[in-house]
Structure 1
Amino acid sequence: MRVVQIIDSLELGGAERMAVNYANGLSKNIDFSGLIATRKEGGLINQIDSDVAYLFLQRKKSVDLNAVLRLRKYLVKNKIDIMHAHSSSFFIAVLVKLTLPRLKIFWHDHYGTRSQETKKENIFLVFLSTFFSSIFVVNLQLKEWNEKNLNCSNVIFIPNFTKSHNVSGSEQLTDLKGSEGKRIVFLANLKNPKNHLLILKAYAELKLFELDWSLHLIGRDYFDSYSEAIKDFINAYSLERYVYLYGEKGDIKNILSQASVGVLASTQEGFPVTLLEYALENVAVVSTNVGYCSLLIENENDGLLFDPFSELEVKNQLKKIIEDESLRNTLVEKFKTKVLQHYSEEAVIEKLILAYKKSK
């Protein structure tokens, strides 16, 4: 079996991380595993294993014939059977399939918000889905949406997985500010629907800074109205010495090793890899209940869940986890055990390979 993962960029996002994880995991289990970034590289390039055949297409526009020809050359040279296209990269995958009909496209839908959208809003995807052999989805809401709206009957839920990555020696390690044992980390790019202001309001209203707890926002800053609202809130409540923005970082394992509590507050999610990363690094989790989150986490057992539209719920859950160190330790132990048992690389890669084979 010879498979290539295709993704538009290698920036530090969930779909991008999974494309790299799949390429790395498959490289140990099949004849050939490749990874192609079509438009842009990024911080994840340093996490690609040496035995993964990597190509950067340098695609300049939607219909870039030179990029299609470079992709075709790569596929023919490496005798690729399967193109595993993540998110919006399905378009170039279909273009090259028109020149190589024997290739199979497995499209991977990571976009949790799509389950709230109409068929008309995704009309281009609906049309091109005729060319897909199978569709992979990251939660059950997306499975239902894809089965109902797309022209591909074989829709399969494949859970995400993660593993710890060590940064290269040349990369700067991030030192979190604040007091040890009292750091809350929020790992998410500064954009909708990540809902940062909900956590900021809860932090301020609970006056967690008076208990010496600090809040650390890790993720890309797009310097737009969303991030301006965050910065304005921090300034308005004089939280500059307690709430810190670090931007996009590659040393996530190192960062999480310095945190005690991890939060996620999205109003829409697919299957957030962030929660798995929290689990592996022994961070107690307070999470939104949308997408796959409420299936991944059992409330009060291995994490605390809240409705992302309820300021009261998030305050109650944050207060509970901050005040009870014993609870934090219990949640950490149970969630890590669950993730290692059910969302390990070995288990998910085995399921992925079986899905490839069933479609052949």
Structure 2
Amino acid sequence: MLRSLQIIDTLQVGGAERLAINYANGLSQLGVQSHLCATRQEGPLLKVLDENVEYIFLNKKSTIDFKAFLALRSYILTTKINVIHAHSSSFFIAVIMKLFIPHLKIIWHDHYGNSEFLNKRPKLLLKFCSLFFSYILSVNKDLRQWSAKNLHCKNVIYLKNFPVLKKATGSSTTLYGENGKRILCLANLREQKNQIRLLESFQQVASKYPDWTLHCVGKNFHDDYSRRFFEKLRKLDLNNFVYFYDSKTDIINIMQQCQIGILVSKSEGLPMALLEYGISSLAVICTDVGDCGELIKDNCYGILLEDDRSTTISEAIMAFIEDKDYRTGSAHKFHEMILRDYSEKPILTQVVDIYNQVV
């Protein structure tokens, strides 16, 4: 019997974290005994883990944490795990486990978000660890090519992300602003996600369409970028037009209150937020980074930004605001395409086939 363990650093609300949860939940419905391990930090996503998925939290304090290593080794031996599916940087602890338990098979899932800057990616440790990987799953084609060229594992494939939105328990978020006139940016507050440029763009939108509002949902890390974001918000006098909500788990509820979904990232892999916009029938605007262009396909399913200049972004937003038929038609086509090409079952079935192959 297949017994798989998804390993992820945290359960904070992020793309790789949501996908790890989706895998753990989805595989449990396909006859796989499914487990999930959070190594460093728990978070809101724990609330959407299915009851039939076994869970362990290591509370790992440092890169080398023998207490955490021994706890995970004991768990793997007790539950008879035979496949470790390691997401992002958790490949290191997966390799440590294989050194303890040689029969384990490691699938590494590469979610690297800075795929526009792969020439700067650290690779020494990853290259060594890749000697122990049975398979590498890459979330876009650039990452697949990079792994095939730079790492030792011979089995490298591109595997699509897939969105799953589950209703969260507990309180529901009520967005500010006028119904039918809300724009959502679902992204943690990071330099890569480029929210400061989005603020600059939205100043132009708000001056012309003051009844439309922008809603930023994502984790605030209280770092330098966060400080600059809120300073820019005050400087541009956008407090009555732009609202920040920090991390939320009731994403379905939030998206149902919005009409447009936007991402203006400097770099991406294949963003889960974009797929979730599609599931929720939002009209989408995004920069042409990572595999975003694969989704939007020359503006067939939304507006693909050629650059991240403020005027480029604001003009795209206003194009959707000014033409409701264009907005709703684009949203409908994108929704239908995501349902058709990025559905959960065929992707997870392919993963189960890979698990069976390596075991």
TM-score bucket (shorter structure): over 0.9
Q: Deviations over 1:68-122 (max 9, x none)?
A: 1111111111111100000111111111110111100001110131562347722
Shift of 1:9: 0.7
Cα distance 1:326–1:102, how it changes in 2: closer, same or farther (>3 A)? same
Contact 2:15–2:272 (Cα < 8 Å) also in 1: yes
Shift of 1:208: 5.0
- Does residue 199 (structure 1) correspond to residue 198 (structure 2)? The answer is yes
- Does residue 317 (structure 1) correspond to residue 322 (structure 2)? The answer is no
TM-score where L is the length of structure 2: 0.96
Q: Partner of 1:357 in structure 2?
A: 356
Q: Which letter does structure 1 place at the counterpart of 2:280? A: E
In the alignment, the residues of structure 2 paired with residue 8 and residue 282 of structure 1 have an alpha-carbon distance, to the nearest angstrom, of: 31
Cα distance 1:241–1:119, how it changes in 2: closer, same or farther (>3 A)? closer
Say which SS state the counterpart of residue 25 (structure 1) adopts: helix
Q: Which letter does structure 1 place at the counterpart of 2:350? A: K
- Does residue 130 (structure 1) correspond to residue 125 (structure 2)? The answer is no
Contact 1:267–1:308 (Cα < 8 Å) also in 2: no
- Does residue 101 (structure 1) correspond to residue 102 (structure 2)? The answer is yes
Cα distance 1:294–1:38, how it changes in 2: closer, same or farther (>3 A)? same
Shift of 1:291: 0.5
Contact 1:11–1:42 (Cα < 8 Å) also in 2: yes
Contact 1:24–1:49 (Cα < 8 Å) also in 2: yes
Q: Partner of 2:141 in structure 1?
A: 140
Q: Partner of 1:338 in structure 2?
A: 337
- Does residue 161 (structure 1) correspond to residue 162 (structure 2)? The answer is yes
In the alignment, the residues of structure 2 paired with residue 109 and residue 306 of structure 1 have an alpha-carbon distance, to the nearest angstrom, of: 25
Contact 1:266–1:308 (Cα < 8 Å) also in 2: no
Cα distance 1:358–1:324, how it changes in 2: closer, same or farther (>3 A)? same
Cα distance 1:209–1:27, how it changes in 2: closer, same or farther (>3 A)? farther
In the alignment, the residues of structure 2 paired with residue 215 and residue 199 of structure 1 have an alpha-carbon distance, to the nearest angstrom, of: 9
In the alignment, the residues of structure 2 paired with residue 99 and residue 12 of structure 1 have an alpha-carbon distance, to the nearest angstrom, of: 31
- Does residue 293 (structure 1) correspond to residue 297 (structure 2)? The answer is no
Moved more, 269-278 or 203-212: 203-212
Give the number of aligned pairs: 358
Query: Equivalent pairs: percent with the same residue?
Result: 41
In the alignment, the residues of structure 1 paired with residue 23 and residue 109 of structure 2 have an alpha-carbon distance, to the nearest angstrom, of: 11
Q: Deviations over 1:130-171 (max 9, x none)?
A: 111111110000001111111111111111111221111xx2
Contact 1:190–1:227 (Cα < 8 Å) also in 2: yes
Shift of 1:219: 0.8
Q: Deviations over 1:244-297 (max 9, x none)?
A: 111111111111110011100111101111011111112111111110110012
Q: Partner of 1:7 in structure 2?
A: 8
Shift of 1:205: 2.1
Q: Which letter does structure 1 place at the counterpart of 2:157? A: I
Q: Which letter does structure 1 place at the counterpart of 2:98? A: K
Moved more, 235-244 or 266-275: 235-244
Cα distance 1:208–1:303, how it changes in 2: closer, same or farther (>3 A)? farther
The 5-angstrom pairing of residues 1-360 of structure 1 reads 1-114=2-115, 116-118=117-119, 121-168=122-169, 171-207=170-206, 210-360=209-359
Contact 1:10–1:45 (Cα < 8 Å) also in 2: yes
In the alignment, the residues of structure 2 paired with residue 185 and residue 316 of structure 1 have an alpha-carbon distance, to the nearest angstrom, of: 16
In the alignment, the residues of structure 2 paired with residue 327 and residue 108 of structure 1 have an alpha-carbon distance, to the nearest angstrom, of: 37
Say which SS state the counterpart of residue 247 (structure 1) adopts: coil
Shift of 1:209: 6.0
In the alignment, the residues of structure 1 paired with residue 109 and residue 165 of structure 2 have an alpha-carbon distance, to the nearest angstrom, of: 23
Q: Which letter does structure 1 place at the counterpart of 2:348? A: I
In the alignment, the residues of structure 2 paired with residue 133 and residue 356 of structure 1 have an alpha-carbon distance, to the nearest angstrom, of: 9
Say which SS state the counterpart of residue 329 (structure 1) adopts: helix
Cα distance 1:221–1:43, how it changes in 2: closer, same or farther (>3 A)? same
Contact 2:13–2:45 (Cα < 8 Å) also in 1: yes
In the alignment, the residues of structure 2 paired with residue 52 and residue 79 of structure 1 have an alpha-carbon distance, to the nearest angstrom, of: 15
Say which SS state the counterpart of residue 117 (structure 1) adopts: helix
Contact 2:287–2:308 (Cα < 8 Å) also in 1: no
Q: Which runs of 5+ in 1 are unaligned?
A: none
Shift of 1:234: 1.8
Q: Which letter does structure 2 place at the counterpart of 1:47? A: V
Shift of 1:351: 1.6
Say which SS state the counterpart of residue 275 (structure 1) adopts: helix
In the alignment, the residues of structure 2 paired with residue 56 and residue 227 of structure 1 have an alpha-carbon distance, to the nearest angstrom, of: 28
Q: Which runs of 5+ in 2 are unaligned?
A: none
In the alignment, the residues of structure 2 paired with residue 284 and residue 120 of structure 1 have an alpha-carbon distance, to the nearest angstrom, of: 33
Cα distance 1:354–1:180, how it changes in 2: closer, same or farther (>3 A)? same
Say which SS state the counterpart of residue 222 (structure 1) adopts: coil
TM-score where L is the length of structure 1: 0.96
